[in-house]
Structure formats: structure tokens, C-alpha cells
Structure 1
């Protein structure tokens, strides 16, 4: 092993030792303060720090628009099973003086913890040298006195866990040591997970709340075997939905807005003994933003542009009609950035009773 590689290994070991001793990462998900209720135009904040002192406010992400309350995950399901929101990222953490206060305290506590001798102790010592004495390696520069001489000219960035990521290994995979970034400068390219408008857009996607998808049926709730059931959604029921994620700290600001536009409704009758209209069961939105056509008197024998014919009775129970809206997802962000994200879906179940047509013999 080369000297450079061994030094880097020692530093990583030092961070691991600090983490094990303190029971926390250097910038784990944190207290976010009072959370407003969810509504269009409201703000929901999520921190990336670790206590109630406000010292970690630098890594706070603010969510607004149609988002879940209290920083929770929204109700959108990605149509791409291989896509997922970022489990962690690197973001502005603390200014030099605040970082010195926090990091030096962590190092001191870790060094005095039981068992921090031998290799772990040496690694902690090298981590201390990295921030106090300018000890660096490869393309990772060291810092004299925690870069205090440049306080106000930039910030230390650190890994931030996504609190909504269930996999702890993925959530805690941003393990690079905190690094300095000057105000107005981008992080070095090697930090591929440094916060970007696209990452913010993905987080806005994760927190987005879509409206329900209960369709209007005629006949409503109870229909007859072999009788076409009309299904539709009024144009006033669905519209574009927007969610915004932003970060704004001294010398650094980013924002991204994710927009969801409804494009189709898919009906799944809840039984194979049914026919859908159209045959695919997927009804597209009309130019006026509606889906299907409302039933009107005199259309009982017509085939609906969007609907179902059940071929057998539901007996003493009901059929579970699944109505799923597919949403086209796109985003725009700081600096003119933008692009597409995987389509999103949100489904709603409706109980449908199907009865036999009773004939009367005279």
C-alpha cells in the first residue's frame, strides 16, 4: 500500500471512529423546527443538521407547493422501478469558525472515549491534523486551523442523509470528510453527490403530494351485469401540480421545481370477467383537461369512451376497481437547468357492486 493510500485509509478510519463514538454522522438529518400543515403554497422544511441550537441551519432544505407535511414522503410512485431519490448528498454545512467549534469538540470527545487507542487513536490524530495542521493527501487539501482565516469566504460541506431513505447503508454512504468550498464556486468534480438542482428536483419529486383519483361512475357504485359503466374525471378535478425544493445559505443558493402533469387514467376492474373501454383500459386526457365523457340520459346502450362492462355479478361482495392516474414529471432549476424525471403514478381503489339484471315474467 502506498503512503498516500494509507493516509487516506487512516483518515477514513478516523471519521469512522468519530461516528462510532458519537453515534451520529458528521451531518445527519436533524431537527427542522415547527412544521406547517400541508397545503398548496405552504412551506415544509427539512434540516440536515443534528440539534436544536440552529448551528446546523446551513444544510436546511425548504419544500413548498404541493408537498407532504413535516418533510414526509409524498404519494407519488415512480413508474421506473430502477429510479429512486438520492439517499444522501453533500451540502453546505458550517462556516469555518462554527465548523472548528463542532469538529474540534467531536475529535476531543472521540479521543477521550474508551478504546480509542492504537490504530483508532492514531486515525483520530491524523483527522485532527487534517483540519488543524494542514495534513492532506492526493487531491484532498488539508486545512490550517480549520480554515478560520477564510471564515465568511466559503463553507465546509458535509454528507447529509436523506431521512426518508429506508436503507441505512445507502443513507449513510456519503462518507467523504467535510471539505471546503469558496463562495460562488462549485465543489470539486470528484464529489459527484454534491447538491445540484437535479438532486433538489428529485427530492421535490419524493415529497410531492398528488390529488386523489376517484373517478365518477354511472351507474354509481352499483351497476348491472353486461351494462356499460361510464367513467370520467371532470377537467376541474386535475391540473398541473408543482413542488419546489430550495437551499439558500450565505454564498450559495439553489432551487428546483418539479411539475407533474396528468396524462392518462388506467382502469383495472378488479376481476378478469370484465371489458374495458378502450380495450387497454387506459383513457387519455382530452384537450380540455377532462377524461372520458359524463353519462347522459339516452346513452345507456352506447359504449362509453372510457368505462367498463362487468360480465358477472360481484355476489355478496364488491369488485375492487383500481383507478390509476399517470403523471408526466419534469423539472426546472437554477441556471436554466431542467429535464425529465420518470413518470409518476398514484392509484385509488373504489368498491363497485355488480348485480344481475332481474327479469320479470308476465
Structure 2
């Protein structure tokens, strides 16, 4: 094992020991986590700024636009099964004086805990030296007196868990010790998970709430066997959706907006005894932004451009028609950054009653 790796491991072990003793992460969301949205499309309040003591509040991610309430996960399902939002990231945490106050107290508490001897004690000692005596590993220097001399000129960054990530190991995978970044500078390149506009865009995607648009059917709710059922979505009910994620701290600010544009509707009748129009069940968007064509009187015998024909009755039950809308998703962010994200889907279920056509026999 190299000296660099050995020191890095020791420092991470020291942080783990601190966490074990104190029962919390240094990047506790109470300090550096996400700020929930109010779910009303307005900007949420955000802590930040500083006072004459140079003590800064931790940066928080805020969400606005069409997002789930209370910081929850939205209703978008990624069409790419291999794509997932970031489970954790590094973000601005505390100014130097505030960080010294918090970190030094936790180091002392951990060092004095019962049974803290041997390797954990040595690791805590190296962690203390890292922040007090400039003792660092080769690719990352330490900090003299917690960088207090540079207070107000930058911030310590720390790992932040994604509270919406269910996998504990992934959520806790940003394990590097807090590190210093000067105002206006990018984090060191070895911190690949440092917050970026693209990460913010992915988080906006995760929190995005798409409208629960219900497909219009004719006949509505109740149709007849072998009678084409027309399906459509009006342009007014089928529009672009935007969600924005932003982070702001002294000397640091990023924002990203994720935009979802509806592109198609897929119909699944809820029974194999049915025919879809078109045969694939995939109805594409029209030039005017609508999908399908509204039913008009006299078109009962026409084949609808988007619709279903049921071949048997639903009896005393109903068929569960699934209407899945596919959304094309892209993002733009600070500094002119931007790109594409995987298509998203949102599925609506509608109960459809299918009856036999009643005929009158005359003699």
C-alpha cells in the first residue's frame, strides 16, 4: 500500500470513527442537505450568507417549478433502466471558522470516548493533524488551523446523502473528508461527485412531477364490442413541464432546469382481446402539439388514428386501460451547460367498461 493510500485510508477511518461515536455524518442534511419544495411551484427559502463573524450557513439545494411536495420523489419513470439519480454528492458545507468550531469539538468528543484506542485513536489523531497541522496525503494537502486565515475566501465542502436514495451503501458512498475550495474555484478533479449543473439537473429530474393527464375516450368509459374507441389528448392538456434545482453559497452558485416535452402516447388495452390503432399502440404527437383526433359525429365507422377496438365484453368488470405518455427530457444550466437526459414515462390507468351490442330480433 502506498503512503498516499495509507494516509487517505487512515483519514477516512478517522471520519468513520467520528461518525460512529457521534451517531451522525459530518454532512448531516440538517446542515448541508436538501431544502424541500413547497410543491406550489414557487422558490423555497434557502439558508446561506454570513455575518461579521465569518460564520456561514451550509448551502442547500432548492427546488421550484413542477416538483413533488416536501422534497419527495416525483412521478417520472426513466425509460433507461440503467439510469439513476446521484446517490450522494459533495457540496459547499461550512466556512472555516464554523467548520473549526464543529469539527474540533467532534474530534475531541470522539477521542475521549471509552474504548477509543489503537487504530481508531491513531486515525482520529491523523484527522486532527490533517486540519490543524497541514498534515495531508500527497494529492490533497492538510489545513493549518482549519484554514481560519482564509475564512470568507472559500468554504469546506462535504459529502451529502441523497435522502431519496433507498440503497444505504450508495447513499453513503461519498466518504472523503471535508475539503477546502476557494470562492470562484472548481473543486479538485479527484472529487468526481462534486456538485455540478448536470448533477442538479438529474436531481430536478428525480423530483419532477408530471401532470396526471387523462386520455379522452369516445365513447367515454363505456364502449361496445367491435366498436372503435377513439383516444386523444388536446394540446392544452399536453404541454412542456419544467423543474429547477439550485444551490447557493458564499462565492458559489449553480442552477439547472430540466424540461420535459411530451412526444408520444402508448395505449395498452388491459386485455389481449383487443386491437390498437395504430397496431403498435404508439400514438405520436401531431404538429399542433396534440395527440390523436377528437371523435366527431358520423365517424363511428372510421378507423381512429389513435384508439382501441375491444373484441370481447368486460362482463361485470372493467378493463384497465393503461395510457403511458413518453416525455423527452433535456436540461440547461449555469455557464451555458446543457444536454439530454433519458426519456421519462408516466402511466395513467383508466377503467373501461365494454358491453356487447344488443340487437333486436323481429319476426
* TM-score > 0.5, shorter chain as reference: yes
- How many pairs align? 355
Question: Mean Cα displacement is larger for which, 27-36 or 230-239?
Answer: 27-36
Q: Which residue of 2 aligns with 1:98?
A: 98
Distance in 1 (alpha carbons) for counterparts of 2:206 and 2:35: 21
* Paired position in structure 1 for 2:257: 257
- The structural deviation recorded for 1:230 is 0.4
- Which shows bigger deviation, 269-278 or 109-118? 109-118
Contact 1:44 1:69 (C-alpha < 8 Å) held by counterparts: no
Q: CA deviation at 1:113?
A: 1.5
Q: Which residue of 2 aligns with 1:139?
A: 139
Q: Distance in 2 between matches of 1:115 and 1:45?
A: 43
- Residue 273 (structure 2) aligns with: 273
Instruction: Give 1:36 shift.
Output: 6.0
Distance 2:78 2:103 in 1: 39
2:242 corresponds to which residue? 242
Aligned to 1:38: 39
Q: Which residue of structure 2 aligns with residue 62 of structure 1? A: 62
Are residues 1:15 and 2:18 paired? no
Where do residues 272-291 of structure 1 align in structure 2 (5 Å cutoff)? Answer: 272-291=272-291
Q: CA deviation at 1:12?
A: 1.4
Which piece of structure 1 moves more, 243-252 or 1-10? 1-10
Deviation sequence 1:52-91 (CA, Å, 0-9, x none): xxx8842300111001111111100000000000000000
1:47/1:347 CA distance change after superposition, 3 Å: farther
Deviations 1:302-350 (CA, angstroms, capped at 9, x unpaired)? 1101000000011110000000100000000000000000000000000
Q: Shift of residue 148 of structure 1?
A: 0.1
Cα deviations by residue, 1:249-294 (Å, 9 ceiling, x for unpaired)? 1100100000000000000000011000011101111111111111
Q: TM-score, normalised by structure 1?
A: 0.95
Question: 5 Å matches for 1:1-362?
Answer: 1-30=1-30, 37-39=38-40, 41-44=41-44, 57-362=57-362
Specify the alignment match of 1:52 in structure 2.
none
CA distance in 1, matches of 2:347, 2:285: 16
Which secondary structure does the structure 1 equivalent of 2:236 belong to?
Answer: coil
How many Å separate the matches in 1 of 2:45 and 2:75? 18
On the 8 A contact 1:89/1:195 being kept in 2, the answer is yes
Structure 1, gaps ≥5 residues long: 49-54
Residues 77 and 345 in structure 1, CA contact (< 8 A), matched pair in contact too: yes
Inter-CA distance 101–158: structure 2 relative to 1 (3 Å threshold): same
Residues 205-253 of structure 1: CA deviation (Å, up to 9, x unaligned): 0000000131010000010000000001111001110000011111001
Structure 2 regions of 5+ residues with no counterpart?
49-54
CA–CA distance in structure 2, aligned partners of residues 146 and 216 of structure 1: 63
User: 1:145-193 deviations in whole A, cap 9, x for unaligned?
Assistant: 0000000110000000000000010000000010000011001110000
Distance verdict in 2 for CA 1:36–1:255, change over 3 Å:
closer
Cα RMSD of the aligned pairs, angstroms, is 1.8
1:17 aligned counterpart, secondary structure: helix
